[in-house]
Chains A and B, each alone.
Chain A
Amino acid sequence: NAGVTQTPKFQVLKTGQSMTLQCAQDMNHNSMYWYRQDPGMGLRLIYYSASEGTTDKGEVPNGYNVSRLNKREFSLRLESAAPSQTSVYFCASKDTQAQPQHFGDGTRLSIL
């Protein structure tokens, strides 16, 4: 019953460091998503992947890159971390149009 698994759960970085957040799903879903959650702002879409081999920008893509490694895995990379990227990051996946998204437990990222 793993669902969507995110690693790590917590991370502290210094400004300018790079890091990759990992996400894997075992539900054979086609679509995967990365969101960030900030206080009072709900969740905002960073990037998504409608299917293996494709990625598209969301609402707030600046400062991030993604890789859809295979159908299961979708990683988010911060090349040069900035304090403004301090947030909680959620990965999600879904299958068909009408189905809901399934979320991971999140990665809490602090950038000093």
Chain B
Amino acid sequence: GNSVTQMEGPVTLSEEAFLTINCTYTATGYPSLFWYVQYPGEGLQLLLKATKADDKGSNKGFEATYRKETTSFHLEKGSVQVSDSAVYFCALTPRPGRRALTFGSGTRLQVQP
């Protein structure tokens, strides 16, 4: 079956530090890959996505590259801010079909001023 593995948190960084949150996946075929972010007390918001190998998704300074050879989709940001403190979820959906998402367990990021 499909699965997503994320690094355990919490990840605690100082403002302006470099961020990497690792994500690896297991899936048949060619899944679409997503990063969602959940701010305290809110629902999940799509942060970025990639639908095929070597695609790079980017948004709000965050980036992730779909690496089929290593089955990875690591999230990176060059300089984090306090406002980036949230829980980040890596997820995939297989293709074709309107299938549901398979989520990783989430990684909590805490950015200190």
Contact = CB atoms under 8 A, between A and B. Distances in A.
A32 B52 CA distance: 24
Contacts of B32: 98
Contact of A48 (B36, B45, B49, B100): B100
Contact of B96 (A43, A44, A45, A97): A97
**Most interface-central of B4, B34, B97, B100 (chain A CB within 10 A):** B100
SS class of chain B's interface: helix, strand, loop or mixed?
loop
B43 A100 contact: no
Interface residues of A, number: 28
Contact of A97 (B98, B100, B103, B105): B98
A81 to B, nearest CB: 22
B42 A42 contact: no
Interface of A: 4, 30-31, 33, 35, 40-45, 48, 50-51, 58, 90, 92, 94, 96-98, 100-106
A104 B106 CA distance: 18
Contact of B100 (A33, A51, A96): A33
B95 interface: yes
B105 to A, nearest CB: 4
Given A40-B105, A100-B46, A105-B42, A58 B100 contact: yes
B102 to A, nearest CB: 8
Given A30-B98, A31-B98, A97-B95, A42 B103 contact: yes
A97 B30 CA distance: 13
Contacts of B36: 103
A4 to B, nearest CB: 8
A100 B46 CA distance: 7
**Most interface-central of B46, B89, B97, B98 (chain A CB within 10 A):** B98
A66 to B, nearest CB: 13
Nearest to B52: A98
